[in-house]
Amino acid sequence: MKEIKLHDRLFVPYISKEKILQAVKKIAKEIENYAKDDNIVFVSILKGAFVFSSDLLKHYTKDASIEFYRLKSYEGTTSTGNVEILVDIDSKLLAGKKVIVLEDIVDTGNTLVKIISELKKKNPAELKIASLFLKPDVYDKEYAVDFVGMEIPNKFIVGYGLDYDELGRNIPEIYVLKEKRMVDIVLFGPPGAGKGTQAQILKDKLGLTYIATGDLFRHHIKNQTKLGKKAKEFIDKGNLVPDEITIGMIEEIVKDPNSRGFIFDGFPRTVKQAEVLDKLLKNKDLIIDALLFLDVPDEKIIKRLVERGRTSGRSDDNEETIKHRLHQYHNFTEPVKEYYKKQGKFYKIDGVGDIDEINQRLLDVIKDLKLQVRD
């Protein structure tokens, strides 16, 4: 089973058809033991419980009748707390009878309280509640749920009669709302701006998945993957690795459903790559939410990298080489800023200062953007 989209929300598989059927049979057997030789009047709460009610009656072997009661308490993915009766039941059908209410799910209990209050007015001999699902973490009402198929956490679910704004009732399994992930960020700036350092800190603080193209190439080449072998052929010849190979490596990472979000370092480097990345993420129901640009003047970049070359012994960190790299950056990579500016996703951060100061500036922007990690 794959994730599905209903309206504007994504849902992922949660409870299988087999487990649902086991829960239905369990409730049917328990009610039979309770009913003994008495006829039962089932009251199915519409719309959500109609599938559950149908399957329950198929596995209930004793005599029973069924009535339907319809209320409304949900809008979108949350309970309004106000319960409205839409379809009522004639009191004569319930008076003096053993009545069992069939609910698809009991969470806050607001609907249940209203049901019990109204049905007691119809003078049943006994009144019991059966629910396929119960959320014990949020249910705190005084009435007992007498027959429970299974207990689940306080998560929003759809399928098997349950809906999200009227969609999803016909799904035979149960799906759960895909919790909000951290938005996906591109950390951008000239060579030597400190992107790698800051990306690692943000990764650890926010629990993000860090995607650096250099690391990707090294991983795939070291492990001799199919993509790694292709990339090595180009690198060995001194050529740039084609975008489709890089995107292929990135795609393997972004499909991870357990990630809290992604921070890209070193990609995209061109507008074409940015367009390809957007297309890839769109196919995964993801989106780049912000490009965070570390703004550092060229003279400071040159001074910083020359000093790094002296202390580290890196021969490529001489002034002439650095100026060439900056020239390449301004001509071919810097236009990516304009691409994201047009989308309203560009944010400039002062990249001059000590590491902690710069990191706090980045975190402040993320906080202002309300870019929250999922629960």
Q: Which residue spans within the chain are E strands per DSSP?
A: 4-6, 9-15, 40-46, 64-75, 78-87, 98-106, 126-134, 147-151, 157-158, 174-177, 184-188, 209-212, 262-265, 288-295, 346-350
Which tokens hold the place of 310? Answer: 């002296």
Residue with tokens 């500016």: 341
Pairing of strands 98-106, 126-134: parallel
Report the number of secondary-structure helices (H) and strands (E) in the chain: 12, 15
Q: Is 5 a catalytic residue?
A: no
CB 324 within 8 A of CB 275: no
**195 is annotated as an active-site residue:** yes
User: Could you tell me the CA-to-CA distances from 93 to 37, 40, 85, 89, 276 in Å, in that order?
Assistant: 19, 11, 18, 7, 64
**Measured between alpha carbons, how far is 332 from 192 in angstroms, rounded to an integer?**
16
Pick the catalytic residue: 303, 308, 348, 361? 308
288-295 sheet: strands from edge to edge:
209-212, 262-265, 184-188, 288-295, 346-350
Distance CA 288, CA 345 (A): 8
Distance CA(81)–CA(74), nearest Å, equals: 8
Active site residue: 47, 97, 181, 269, which one? 269
Q: Which of 97, 195, 304, 345 is catalytic?
A: 195
Q: Kindly name the residue from 9, 47, 325, 345 that is annotated as catalytic.
A: 325
Instruction: Please confirm, yes or no, whether 325 is among the known catalytic residues.
Output: yes
Task: Collapse the DSSP code of 207 into the 3-class scheme (helix H, G, I; strand E, B; otherwise coil) and give the result.
Answer: coil
Catalytic residues: 195, 269, 308, 314, 325
